[in-house]
Amino acid sequence: MVLAVGIMSGTSLDGIDTALVEITGVLEKTRVKLVDFATKPYPKEILNQLHHALEAESVTVQQVSSLNFQLALSYAAVVKELCEQNQLTTGELAYVASHGQTLFHQPETLGDFPPSTLQLGDAGVLAQLLQCTVVSNFREADMAVGGQGAPIVPFADFYCYQGNKDRILQNIGGIGNLTWIKKGGSPADVVAFDTGPGNMVINELTRHFYDEAYDHDGKHAANGQVLPELVNHWLSLPYFAQPYPKTTGRELFGKTFVAKIIGENFEIAPDDLIASATMLTAKSITQACAQLTTEPCELIIAGGGAYNPVMMAMIRQTVDANFIVKTQEDLGFSSDAKEAIAMVILAQHTLQKIPNNVPSATGARKPVVLGRVTWA
């Protein structure tokens, strides 16, 4: 049993999640216990730089290079704080598993550009600041063997959730993604893909209309009215009909998409747009579930969306009868901590050189070892 910290900062930019865990074993012998968890916002200045890098037409290479180093400083500060609160020094950690901040992710060839992905938050800087081994860069190897480099959480999900019933794990972060773990299945049976937007469209709308980072407790959605025609129009986007495995991101459902929504619907009340965007996420999830199985199945919701009661109600309202909807918390796990814990589980396998992608989820031609190791 060793202590390790997982760091996740998702596309929604809502902060840096850090999970302190006890972990032992690999594959079916993997055992993980969450010791502590914290989410800290990015420092304002870093957040501004990230928004610029993600949204501007172009950046300077100095900005990219500098962000790579500065993000590592931000991560290190959050990990140190978590360790201090648990009377630990970072040097006592066996390792830190860091996802990094995705600056760009393009799973398919687009024009002259082959698939590629770019996560920042330099592992060398992080390892030195923490005086501890860092495992990072969990997407590139999968893409090098034809995979989409995403999703990467299903590997961890399989070893945490495989059991005596079918389970669909739905994470609602910036993007929504699901993992279907079949009763009695093997890792090769895992189905996983991005369902579409998670909170990304909603957050962009609350930022635009209210200067609020997200729809706290779903209050705007609750105050608005879902416009079914609008929701169905959005659901007619080709992405939702595309067969899995598939991944999406800010490129499809980011600022450009939301600017278009706002421009096309200026006569609609902001809260109606937010309610409709909430329903878009809910229906994109429940439609995807309905297409997967008609057998009894647990649908377990995690991520920020699990804390939006309006979204949870919409999921329960639109899901087929064979599903029992739960939240991650109902199972005794922290919803927020799930992805950060998954990074630790991936890293535990990286360090043992055990392949830890799920080709059935990413579309990769073969299993590969995700991640790379930087010693302090």
> Where is the binding site for ATP, in residues?
10-17
* Contact between 26 and a copy of itself per CB under 8 A: no
d(CA 157, CA 261): 34
Q: Which is nearer to a copy of itself, 108 or 217 (CB)?
A: 108
* Contact between 209 and a copy of itself per CB under 8 A: no
d(CA 291, CA 286): 9
Binding track over 90-129 against a copy of itself, x by CB under 8 A:
-------------xx-x------xxxxxx---xxxx-xxx
Report the 10 Å Cβ neighbour count for 244: 18
Least separation in angstroms between residue 353's CB and a copy of itself is 5
* Sole window of 19-27, 34-42, 63-71, 321-329 interacting with a copy of itself (rule: CB under 8 A): 63-71
Window 159 to 198, contacts with a copy of itself (CB under 8 A): none
* Contact between 60 and a copy of itself per CB under 8 A: yes
d(CA 191, CA 166): 12
Least separation in angstroms between residue 372's CB and a copy of itself is 4
Q: Which is nearer to a copy of itself, 195 or 357 (CB)?
A: 357
**Angle ∠(282,269,311) on CA atoms, nearest 5:** 20
Report the 10 Å Cβ neighbour count for 124: 15
Which one among 28, 57, 211, 267 touches a copy of itself, defined by CB under 8 A? Answer: 57
* Contact between 66 and a copy of itself per CB under 8 A: yes
Which one among 26, 35, 59, 331 touches a copy of itself, defined by CB under 8 A? Answer: 59
Cis peptide bond upstream of 245, omega within 30: yes
* Contact between 145 and a copy of itself per CB under 8 A: yes
* Sole window of 51-59, 211-219, 240-248, 304-312 interacting with a copy of itself (rule: CB under 8 A): 51-59
d(CA 26, CA 5): 16
* Contact between 148 and a copy of itself per CB under 8 A: no
Q: Which is nearer to a copy of itself, 131 or 317 (CB)?
A: 131
* Contact between 235 and a copy of itself per CB under 8 A: no
Q: What are the tokens at 283? A: 């229906």
**Angle ∠(166,170,175) on CA atoms, nearest 5:** 155
Over 228-277, what HEC string results?
Answer: HHHHHHHHCCHHHHCCCCCCCCHHHHCHHHHHHHHHHCCCCCHHHHHHHH
Window 331 to 350, contacts with a copy of itself (CB under 8 A): 350
Q: Which is nearer to a copy of itself, 96 or 172 (CB)?
A: 96
Least separation in angstroms between residue 214's CB and a copy of itself is 24
- Pairing mode, if any, of strands 95-106 and 116-120? antiparallel
* Annotated binding-site residue numbers: 10-17
Residue of 337, 331, 301, 330 whose CA lies nearest to 35:
337
Question: Site size for a copy of itself, by CB under 8 A?
Answer: 50
Window 348 to 367, contacts with a copy of itself (CB under 8 A): 350, 353
d(CA 80, CA 129): 9
**What kind and span of H or E run contains 327?**
strand 323-327
* Contact between 255 and a copy of itself per CB under 8 A: no
* Contact between 44 and a copy of itself per CB under 8 A: no
In the β-sheet with 166-172, what is the strand arrangement from edge to edge?
191-197, 175-181, 166-172, 297-302, 323-327
Q: Which is nearer to a copy of itself, 119 or 360 (CB)?
A: 119
d(CA 195, CA 205): 20
* Binding site residues, a copy of itself, CB under 8 A: 53-54, 57-62, 64-66, 68-70, 72, 103-104, 106, 113-118, 122-125, 127-129, 136-137, 139-141, 143-145, 350, 353, 368-376
